[in-house]
Structure 1
Amino acid sequence: MRLRCALLDDFQNAGSTAADWSPVADRVDVVPFTEHIGDEDELAAALAHFDIVVTLRERVPFPASLLARLPRLRLIVATGMRNTVIDHAAARAHGVTVCGTESSSTPPVELTWALILGLARGLVQENTGLREGGPWQSTVGADLHGRVLGLLGLGKIGSRVASIGQAFGMDVVAWSRNLTDERAYEVGVRRAASKEELLARSDVVSVHLALSDRTRGLLGAPELALMKPDAFLVNTSRAAIVDQDALLAALHEGRIAGAGVDVFDVEPLPAGHPMRTAPRLLATPHLGYVTRANYARYYGQAVEDIRAYLDGEPVRLLG
């Protein structure tokens, strides 16, 4: 009997073409879901007749309550080698194997800089004005050379963002709870003595931390109040690191010059969400990982995971 594989959140309908599915084509039918399903009842009904699910990132939770309603499900392939929204113990209890793929080959470094540059030079406003017959020049751009780039987190992504900032001639400082002077020296940046110092000194603050109990709500109203009124905040990491209500208030009240955001508390963002209409906000729909190279890796290794599972030798097991 042929198996059925669901590709969740395949918004661009790209999953079936981003990789070569021929190794499993004789055993598996692939069905893309181009719309997000956020309701558990709807998800249980939609996946009732699927044996395999490929899920992107951590957008769709698989709690025990959902897994119990999917008796046909046998394999979940999650992109990345870490997924906190799948109940791994429940999956094992229900006989569901969970596999992963390698992480992004192109992390959101380039998108981070797209947001920084877009904010600094008012690209959205100027492009909109030019195309719609508005005034010729309506903004005065912010210079990056000689300004301070503050990085919250100096891991794989943060260090690459730092190197580009240095190429622009920026003075780069970084802070995290575990950052040492030695690590900062390796990357060629200065370690801020505290989060508060970094926020107060920086002209651009960019978040590159993993979400954990220690980083959830790391930037709230008191922290945002420390930022310069002409500074920008960029978050391509996780929405919950920045208090969303506090950020919206800062934007509406003009207490910071602007924010560039690629991650949200609810995804996809509902039509009436206040982030859609906030002033001084340059927002993108979680595009950090959405590149041809990443999709080729995710879906290519999903095919490998499925084939290995069907051959009785699963690889890249999670949980």
Structure 2
Amino acid sequence: MKLRCAVLDDFQGVSTSIVDWSPVTDRVEVVAFPEHFHTEDELAEALADFDLVVTLRERVAFPAALFARLPRLRLLVATGMRNSVIDLAAAAAHGVTVCGTASLSTAPVELTWALLLGLARGIVAENTALREGGPWQSTVGADLSGRTLGLLGLGKTGSLVARVGLAFGMDVAAWSQNLTEERAAEVGVRRAASKEDLLGGSDFVSVHLALSDRTRGLLGGAELALMKPEAYLVNTSRAAIIDQDALLAALTGGRIAGAAVDVFDLEPLPAGHPLRTAPRLLATPHLGYVSRDNYRTYYGQAVEDIAAFLDGTPVRVLG
């Protein structure tokens, strides 16, 4: 009898076709779920008859209470090698092995620049007007060359974003709690003296920090008030780094020129959520990791994780 594997949040319906699952299909029945399960009760009911689960990024939490309700579960594959919403200790206590996959930095970098450029040049407004018979040219684009790009975070993703900014002829500055002058120099950017200095001196601010106790709520109303009225804010990292009520107030009040976000406190974003209709906001449904190559990496290595687990030699074990 085959084991059963659930693939969660397969919104595009590509998980079983974008890579070859044949190395495990003789032993495993794979079922992809295109819908999102919003509650623990929904998850527990949907996954009750599954032995293996592949979960997409950090959208679905696996706390101790959920593991207790899934006695058949033996392997949980997380896309990426870090997942803050899986209780690894509880997984171990319930006999569940948790494995990860690689994740490409290039995909979120490219989306960051798509959003930043979309903001700067009014792409959505101009495209909408052109298609709907609106005015011919209604926005005046913001220039990048010679302007300051401020990066909150200069890790793997932030450093790649910085290099693109430099190629555009921007003055690139960066700040984080642990950023050193040496690291900034390695990337070819300058280290801002403080978070406040970075926010006040930048024409574009882009967030590239991991979510932690130190970064949660890092940008609140007081911090957003430091930004120039003509400045733009981009967040492709984690929603909770920016106080969402403060962001909404800044956009509604016109205290910043605009923002682009790819991440939200609740995902998928509920219908009727105020961010769906906020002014001066360019929003995408968490597309940072959604690219063909990244999906091939996620699901290809998920197949490898499953095969290795079934062979008794699990790989890329988390925890």
Q: 1:104 deviation in Å? A: 2.2
CA distance in 2, matches of 1:89, 1:191: 38
Secondary structure at 2:200's aligned position in 1?
A: helix
Per-residue CA distance 1:201-239 (angstroms, 9 max, x = gap):
100000011111111100000000000000000000000
Determine the structure 1 residue equivalent to 2:39. 39
User: Aligned equivalents of 2:249 and 2:85: distance in 1?
Assistant: 29
Structure 2 partner of 1:21: 21
Is 2:169 the partner of 1:169? yes
C-alpha displacement at 1:305, in angstroms? 0.6
Structure-1 residue corresponding to 2:63: 63
Give the aligned residue type for 2:49: H
SS of equivalent to 1:169: coil
Structure 1 unaligned regions, length at least 5: none
1:105–1:293 Cα contact (<8 Å) kept: no
The AA in structure 2 aligned to 1:228 is K
Mapped to 1, the partners of 2:2 and 2:178 lie a distance apart of 50
1:152 aligned partner: 152
**Within-5 A mapping of 1:65-84:** 65-84=65-84
Partner of 1:286 in structure 2? 286
Q: Tell me, what secondary structure is at the counterpart of 2:76?
A: strand
Is contact 1:107-1:157 (8 Å) kept?
no
CA distance in 2, matches of 1:86, 1:241: 19
Give the aligned residue type for 2:153: G
The residue identity in structure 2 corresponding to 1:136 is: W
- Structure 2 counterpart SS, 1:206: strand
**TM-score normalized by structure 2?**
0.99
Alpha-carbon separation, structure 2, partners of 1:154 and 1:238: 15
Partner of 1:261: 261
Amino acid at match of 1:62: F
Q: What's the counterpart of residue 85 of structure 1?
A: 85
Alpha-carbon distance between aligned partners in 2 of 1:127 and 1:307, rounded to the nearest angstrom: 47
Amino acid at match of 1:288: G
Consecutive aligned runs of 4 or more in structure 1 exceeding 4 Å deviation:
none
Distance, in Å, in 2 between the alignment partners of 1:5 and 1:299 is 13
Which residue number corresponds to residue 222 of structure 2?
A: 222
**Matched residue type, 2:190:** R
Structure 1 counterpart of 2:196: 196
For 2:125 and 2:85, locate their aligned partners in 1 and report how far apart those are by CA, in whole Å: 37
Q: Does 1:2 align with 2:6?
A: no
CA distance in 2, matches of 1:305, 1:289: 20
What corresponds to 1:252 in structure 2?
252
**Could you say which residue in structure 1 is the equivalent of 2:270?**
270
- Alignment correspondent of 1:51: 51
Aligned-partner SS, 1:108:
helix
Q: Which residue does the alignment assign to 1:185? A: 185
Identify the residue that residue 143 of structure 1 maps to in structure 2: 143
CA contact (8 A) 1:108 1:157 kept: yes
- Alpha-carbon distance in 2 for matches of 1:222, 1:118: 26
Letter matched to residue 91 of structure 2: A
- Structure 1 distance, partners of 2:299, 2:258, is 35
Structure 2 counterpart SS, 1:44 = helix
* CA displacement at 1:105 relative to structure 2: 5.1
Note if contact 1:81-1:101 (Cα within 8 Å) is conserved in structure 2.
yes
> Do the aligned partners of 1:208 and 1:235 also contact (CA within 8 Å) in 2?
yes
SS at match of 2:9: coil
Secondary structure of 2:136 counterpart: coil
Deviations 1:239-270 (A, max 9, x none): 00000000000000000000010000111100
In the alignment, the residues of structure 2 paired with residue 314 and residue 182 of structure 1 have an alpha-carbon distance, to the nearest angstrom, of 38
Q: Which runs of 5+ in 2 are unaligned?
A: none
Distance (Å, rounded) in 2 between the aligned partners of 1:225 and 1:118: 23
Q: Residue 96 of structure 2 aligns with which residue?
A: 96
The 2-side partners of 1:12 and 1:312 are apart by: 32
Alignment RMSD: 0.8
Distance 2:79 2:314 in 1: 15
CA distance in 2, matches of 1:143, 1:106: 24
Alignment partner, residue 236 of structure 2:
236
| Residues 106 and 293 in structure 1, CA contact (< 8 A), matched pair in contact too | no
Matches of 2:154 and 2:94 in 1, distance apart? 39
Aligned equivalent of 2:111: 111
Higher alpha-carbon deviation: 200-209 or 84-93: 84-93
Count of aligned pairs between the two proteins: 319
Conservation of the 8 A alpha-carbon contact between 1:51 and 1:73 = yes
